[in-house]
Amino acid sequence: MLYIENESINPYYNLAMEEYLFSLDDNNDYLLLWQNEPTIVVGKYQNTAEEINSEYVKEKGIHVVRRITGGGAVYHDLGNLNYTFINKGAGEKEFDFKKFTIPIVKALGRFGVKAELSGRNDITIDQKKFSGNAQYVKQNKILHHGTLLFNSKMEELAKALKVTEDKFQSKGIKSVRSRVTNIADYLPGTITVSQFKELLLKYMFDEDMQLTEGQLSISDMNEINLLMEKKYMSWDWNYGTSPEFNVRQGKRFEGGRIEVLINVKNGIVQGIKFYGDFFGSGNPEEIEALLIGKRYKEVEVRNALTGLNVSDYFKGITLDELIGCIL
């Protein structure tokens, strides 16, 4: 596995770097450890405008960028450390969070911190989340990345993110502050995030895997910068436009939240868009295309979607649950 040292704190560059390395046609596996300036990173399928506190983000100059993986919005600052695995040999539909989160849990045990996996993609200490994880699977490769709140500014996190009410209800919580924590609060001594990064790298792989330090070429960096400018710094990618709609439905399932905006005219679906913090290897736009022009009735919606493996698009969500969200 190649470890690529990345000192950039530019979120647009860092996410472009991830995607570039993932897209390479080579035989290498990669590991990255990286940090961002204050940033909100939204999931691929989320409606950005509804995930952030726009006024606060503008006032504080917080970056907003969309990633290529599903899941929910997260806040990064220089007290947060991010990690990325890019591995070949994954199944086309495979989502395996434990494979990549267990090394983090084991490494934290070496620090004297008892962490555990929680829910579909979180790591917690004392039932408080410090790590959210997301994945992208394509062409037998998998990109897994996660956050590690080390000594982040929790008040900034709480103010910058706008969390939907149903997420509070589904987890039985009162506030963002009450359900997240910093790793530093549980360490027996005081260390910096840089020291934590060095030790984490050692503890994750000193027994199980050989790491080799890799280097980006000038050509690599040029390609990353081009991708950053064309995609990750663009308004279309980070915000996009919501379709005109007159029907809005939203539900939270075990596999995540789905929100649907639908434009229905004379009983016919004119436009439809799925948002949410769900995961999936398929593109929901394929389902949207199947429903446009169909009557907004259960029998016609069900007929249009019968034969699809809905879980490929919305992991852990059934056809009946999806139909119940649309209608």
Give me the domains of the chain, ranges plus CATH numbers: 2-238 (3.30.930.10), 247-326 (3.30.390.50)
Summarize the confidence of residues 189-204 as an average pLDDT: 91
β-bridge pairing 212-214 and 2-5: parallel
The tokens for 178 are 């009450």
The answer to whether 276 and 283 have CB atoms below 8 angstroms apart is no
Nearest Cα neighbor of 51 from 40, 35, 36 is 40
Confidence (pTM):
0.85
Beta bridge partners of 124: 116, 129
Interatomic CA distance for residues 204 and 243, integer angstroms: 45
Mean pLDDT rounded to a whole number for the chain: 89
Summarize the confidence of residues 234-238 as an average pLDDT: 94
- Using only C-alpha atoms, the chain has a radius of gyration, in whole angstroms, of 20
pLDDT digits (tens, 9 = 90+) for 75-86: 999 999 999 999
The whole-number pLDDT of residue 208 equals 61
Would you say residue 129 has pLDDT above 50? Answer: yes
The whole-number pLDDT of residue 175 equals 40
Query: What is the DSSP track for 280-315?
Result: -SS-HHHHHHHHTTSBSSHHHHHHHHTTS-HHHHST
Interatomic CA distance for residues 183 and 274, integer angstroms: 34
Q: Is 228 exposed, middle or buried (0-12, 13-18, 19+ CB in 10 A)?
A: buried
The whole-number pLDDT of residue 241 equals 73
The whole-number pLDDT of residue 163 equals 64
Summarize the confidence of residues 13-36 as an average pLDDT: 95
Which ranges of the chain does DSSP label H, i.e. alpha helix? 11-23, 54-60, 98-110, 154-160, 165-171, 193-205, 218-227, 235-238, 284-291, 298-305, 310-313, 319-326
Percentage of the chain with pLDDT > 90? 68
Q: Give per-residue burial for 190-215: e unless 16+ CB within 10 Å, then b.
A: ebebeebbeebbebbbeeeeeeeeee
Would you say residue 168 has pLDDT above 90? Answer: no
DSSP 228: I
Interatomic CA distance for residues 110 and 326, integer angstroms: 47
Cβ-Cβ contacts under 8 Å for 13 (sequence gap 6 or more): 224, 225, 228, 232
Cβ-Cβ contacts under 8 Å for 113 (sequence gap 6 or more): 125, 183, 186, 187
Summarize the confidence of residues 106-129 as an average pLDDT: 91
Would you say residue 207 has pLDDT above 70? Answer: no
Beta bridge partners of 129: 124, 180
Which is it for the CA torsion 281, 316, 108, 10, positive or negative? positive
Would you say residue 6 has pLDDT above 80? Answer: yes
